[in-house]
Amino acid sequence: MAEHADRPAYPVGLRLSGRRVVVVGGGQVAQRRLPALIAAGADIVLVSPSATASVEAMADAGEIRWERRPYADGDLTDTWYALIATDDDAANEAASAEAERTRTWCVRSDDAEAATAWTPATGRSEGVTVAVLTAGAHGRDPRHSAAVRDAIVEGLRDGSIAAPHHRTRTAGVALVGGGPGDPDLITVRGRRLLAEADVVIADRLGPRDLLDELPPHVEVIDAAKIPYGRFMAQEAINNALIEHAKAGKAVVRLKGGDPFVFGRGMEEAQALAAEGIPCTVVPGISSSISVPGAAGIPVTHRGVAHEFTVVSGHVAPDDERSLVDWEALARLRGTLVLLMAVDKIGAIARALIEHGRSPETPVALVQEGTTAAQRRVDATLATVAERASAEGVRPPAVIVIGDVVAVGPATAPTAR
């Protein structure tokens, strides 16, 4: 092999679907490599007397065939590709020799120089596979390969590497859940669509910081400022989405949290569907779970709460427009998470106590969760209205009611 050492490897994409691949050894290396081989549709035979629990689970699920025995000469017959990764030097050597003899491309975990193939550091982003090999005059450097791979995949995902699609872009509107506010808490897909947008129509809540990063040609529209004249505000937003999409723009409707949690996302999707405009929905991290979490409150906790209920508090319990059964909620033992409830918390707390919840039930108000301005105010059902007003708690805030409020560690986890 020495005469080949400083030659670069020849990169290629193997199409292994339905083709026999043999993995010799069922340890950590196999565990790491098998998922990609399974995803490629290979006909995988594992030859190994033992396997890790995860590899065993793949065999139990029928994703690989496992022959529980040591390697034997002849195992590589009719094999297209082999991965040799046992801790038995003699077995590795013998399997490698068979691979050489049978012209089977073969990766070795114990001796890369003796192998006929190398596994690149790979990553995927939206249908693109990035595979990186470092080799040649400077030798193999798998850590450098992984670092290059990470930089490229991250850049593609967040749009900082501009790689325009040459096939037509997905036309229409993306309803993107932006998460609770911290710009790191948007999904990878949401961030990529944002980077590809021509027009972004954004809510007041959500990751506003991301808007600053958009290139100057992107038109950013504040949803709260769309003039609505003879229309309702929501109708005016729908019209703006439709108008820009019909003009052939890639439109992102950036919403706080998840588009379908009190986000009117489906109304927008329906309005687009009525106009025949394609709409992609990208889920987001809802403030209902993430904001309590950022303040050190788990919405469930073993032995404390086996359920959590997310409720809108935008209308008071005695308001005839209310669709909430407060009496039933008062009877539940689990966690109540209230959104849009700062103004009505007094009436809500009274209704819950009146219908049987203990006045001593712990309550936390978490304002502007996951942002630099996050703060938490603790109270009980009996004191929450007075505490919220005395502390000047303002929307946006999530209010958590239940024993989970008190289970956090003595030192709260990092708030953001």
Ligand X SMILES: C[S@@+](CC[C@H](N)C(=O)[O-])C[C@H]1O[C@@H](n2cnc3c(N)ncnc32)[C@H](O)[C@@H]1O
**How, if at all, do strands 173-177 and 279-282 pair?**
parallel
Nearest residue to ligand X, by Cβ distance, number only:
257
Are 375 and 333 contacting, i.e. CB atoms less than 8 angstroms apart?
no
DSSP state of 191: H
DSSP state of 106: E
Query: How many angstroms separate the CA atoms of 398 and 28, rounded?
Result: 43
Residues in contact with ligand X, counted by CB under 6 A, come to a total of 24
**Of 120, 159, 181, 317, the one binding ligand X by CB under 6 A:** 181
Q: Which is nearer to ligand X, 58 or 201 (CB)?
A: 201
Does the active-site annotation cover 203? yes
Q: How far is the CB of 130 from ligand X (least distance, A)?
A: 32
Give the footprint of ligand X on residues 117-136 (CB under 6 A).
none
Q: Which of 25, 5, 21 lies closest to 90 in space, CA to CA? A: 25
Q: Does 263 bind ligand X (CB under 6 A)?
A: yes
**Of 58, 281, 388, 397, the one binding ligand X by CB under 6 A:** 397
Q: How far is the CB of 347 from ligand X (least distance, A)?
A: 16
Q: Which is nearer to ligand X, 26 or 313 (CB)?
A: 313
Q: Does 369 bind ligand X (CB under 6 A)?
A: yes
Q: Which of 203, 255, 344, 378 is catalytic?
A: 203
Does the active-site annotation cover 225? yes
Of the ranges 104-112, 143-151, 210-218, 368-376, which one interacts with ligand X (CB under 6 A)? Answer: 368-376
Q: 3-class DSSP state for residue 249?
A: coil
**Of 44, 199, 291, 385, the one binding ligand X by CB under 6 A:** 291
Q: 3-class DSSP state for residue 7?
A: coil
Q: Does 289 bind ligand X (CB under 6 A)?
A: no
Burial label, 34 (beta-carbon count in 10 A; 0-12, 13-18, 19+): buried
**Of 257, 292, 296, 334, the one binding ligand X by CB under 6 A:** 257
Q: Does 9 bind ligand X (CB under 6 A)?
A: no
Q: Does 395 bind ligand X (CB under 6 A)?
A: yes
Amino acid symbol at 94: A
Rounded to 5°, angle at Cα 380 from 377 and 385:
70
Locate 218 and state its tokens: 């992107």
Q: Which residue has the tokens 């025949």?
A: 276
Q: How far is the CB of 314 from ligand X (least distance, A)?
A: 8
Query: How many angstroms separate the CA atoms of 316 and 93, rounded?
Result: 75
Query: How many angstroms separate the CA atoms of 124 and 13, rounded?
Result: 14
Q: Which residues bind ligand X (CB under 6 A)?
A: 180-181, 205, 256-258, 261-263, 286-288, 291, 339-340, 366, 368-371, 395-398
Active site positions, annotated: 203, 225
